[in-house]
Amino acid sequence: MRLPDTLPADLVVLVAEDDAFARNLIRKMLETIGVGTILMAGDGAEALAIFSAGMTRIDAILSDIHMPKCNGFELFDAIHAIDPDVPFLLVTGDSREKAVAEARARAISAYVVKPLSPAQLREKLVATLQRDPAYPNRVWPRTIEGLAFQREASERQRAVFDIWRVGADGGKLPEPAMLDRWGVTREAPFDRVTFVVDVERPGPRLRYVHVGADLRARFPRDPTGQCIDEMPFLHRRYAMPAYERILNARIPHFRTVKGIEGFLLLRYRRLMLPFAQDGEVRKILGCVELL
């Protein structure tokens, strides 16, 4: 399965590894998967000094376990006391059950056993970032899509995103009830360019429950009440990758799309925002600006 491109363009990773060969190998793998800034430490004590100095933002830490001066578990404890939310991955050759159990008891973000490939490292790093409860606010704005949103989004899309972001300030995604309080589907200011999709479980099946008047007027058919799997092939082709990404990664989506609907060639900017309950995405709000 191909992972979504969710690594921020300016991701900063701190590596703690006392073995020079392993340290260089991890650095090359991080460069290969597109990590923008890599800070290297020769042991846990040096890594702790870099983190404590606070000279730069650090988004994730990769650490070996067995290091002089300060081992990986001691490093985690010290950093956790400073910032309990920073993702911490142990990348080690120690596969003993005792070490794994100790990592689990500390709720360390990920335990990765060497050797590993760049693809495996990227998968672990992406999955760890996605489990970060503050991911939508803290990381998404710096992804490729987030940077495109900052450059290209319309004033209405920015306003919609700002309201959604307020709902996500607690770390978790906003709940579907927020849409009712917001009144998006009741002739609110943004109603004409928004749509709402219900995520029906199990399945999931994705059903359009609201499509704004401007969108209904421009598209060749009104999808209100229909599931996406009932829509024409071209509509599914342009829409499904975005929906699958939101359901799997639980993060916003923004893209400029050029597609064919019926016999019309349409170009539009599409913002889609997830709303979740009990750990699952239940509704998706879209805001479309036709170009």
**Nearby residues of 219 by Cβ (< 8 Å), 6 or more positions away:** 261, 262, 264, 266
Give dist(CA 153, CA 254) in Å, integer. 8
**pLDDT of 1:** 32
**pLDDT of 5:** 58
Q: Work out whether the CA dihedral 6, 278, 137, 40 comes out positive or negative.
A: negative
State the fold for domain 154-290: Beta-Lactamase (3.30.450)
**pLDDT of 79:** 93
Query: Is the CB of residue 262 less than 8 Å from the CB of residue 167?
Result: no
Give dist(CA 68, CA 63) in Å, integer. 12
Give dist(CA 228, CA 207) in Å, integer. 6
Residues of the chain with CATH 3.30.450.20: 154-290
Q: Which residues of the chain have pLDDT under 70?
A: 1-6, 133-138, 169-171, 183-190, 259-264
Give dist(CA 140, CA 235) in Å, integer. 26
CA dihedral (167, 168, 171, 172) in degrees, to 10, reads 90
Smallest CA-to-CA distance from 140 within 232, 253, 55, 257 is with: 253
**pLDDT of 62:** 96
**pLDDT of 263:** 60
DSSP 232-287: -HHHHHHHHHHHHHHHHH---EEEEEEEEETTEEEEEEEEEEEEEETTEEEEEEEE
**pLDDT of 6:** 66
**pLDDT of 266:** 76
Residues of the chain with CATH 3.40.50.2300: 12-132
For the domain covering 12-132, report its CATH number.
3.40.50.2300
**pLDDT of 270:** 94
